[in-house]
Structure 1
Amino acid sequence: MQRLFVMFPDRGPGLGLLWLRLCLAAALCTPGAWAGVVMAVCALAVGLLLLGWLTPLSAVLACVGLWLQGAPLPLLLLPLALLLLGPGAYSLDARQFGRRLLGRRPPPNG
């Protein structure tokens, strides 16, 4: 997953990506569109988006869910923006796949 995203931005850009995930999850929760398969796809996408886990999969599921709901084209392109930008620092993806600072090893005795 780390190979998909160059970095996981924090501060302003990270909060912007968090806001993008939250808005996309809210767009999937439109009343009246929750029936059968659409409900299952949208519920899974909303859960993954809110957590910021498996962002590429959740963006694809969000696009499918919005398409099944009959959303207009600009709203269908919103998951594409998330797919290209990545999850950001405030997500489970950043915790699981982000870069880690490794401590220095003590020099070998000898």
Structure 2
Amino acid sequence: MQRLFSTFPNGWPGCGLLLLRLSCGTPPLLIGAADLWGAQVDAAFGIELLNCAAALSILAGFWTPLAASSQAVLQGALAFSGETFEPAHLALAITNISLVMLGPGSLSLDARLYGRKRIDIGRSQRPP
């Protein structure tokens, strides 16, 4: 996972990526949870469940490139499917693509699991 990103930025850039993750994950999660409440189990239910799982993964910053790319595909399909064009879905698809390109930031599970580690070897731990 570390090979996908040059760094996991912290400070203001890390906070900006956290806000980007919140803006990418919150709307699909809220809409999906409302749609799943009392829905019948069918193919649309499975797609909506995957949508909610990807949104939760984006919010936590866990496997962010995979979750954001699946959200981008789904939101792009929702923008152009149906009888009318939905610009809100297209905007979500574009912000998810930017999240795939930029990465999750330091305030994420990806950074904790796959970020750079520092190992200090003290004098007492070195062999004589």
Provide the TM-score with structure 1 as the length reference.
0.85
Distance in 2 separating the partners of 1:65 and 1:5:
23
Distance in 2 separating the partners of 1:67 and 1:108:
58
C-alpha displacement of 1:65: 2.9
Aligned length, in residue pairs:
109
2:26 touches 2:59 (CA, 8 Å); kept in 1? no
Task: Indicate whether 1:30 and 2:31 are aligned.
Answer: yes
C-alpha displacement of 1:38: 3.3
Paired residue type of 1:88? G
Structure 1 residue aligned with 2:120, among 99, 103, 109? 103
Range with bigger deviation, 19-28 or 58-67:
58-67
| Aligned match of 2:68 | 59
Structure 1 unaligned regions, length at least 5: none
Distance in 1 separating the partners of 2:17 and 2:23:
10
Range with bigger deviation, 53-62 or 92-101:
53-62
Distance in 2 separating the partners of 1:50 and 1:91:
8
C-alpha displacement of 1:61: 1.8
Q: Describe the SS at the equivalent of 1:36.
A: helix
Q: Percent identity?
A: 37
Structure 2 unaligned regions, length at least 5: 37-43, 80-85
Max Rg structure: 2
Provide the TM-score with structure 2 as the length reference.
0.75
Runs of 4+ in 1 over 6 A off after TM superposition: none
Q: RMSD across aligned C-alpha pairs, in angstroms?
A: 2.0
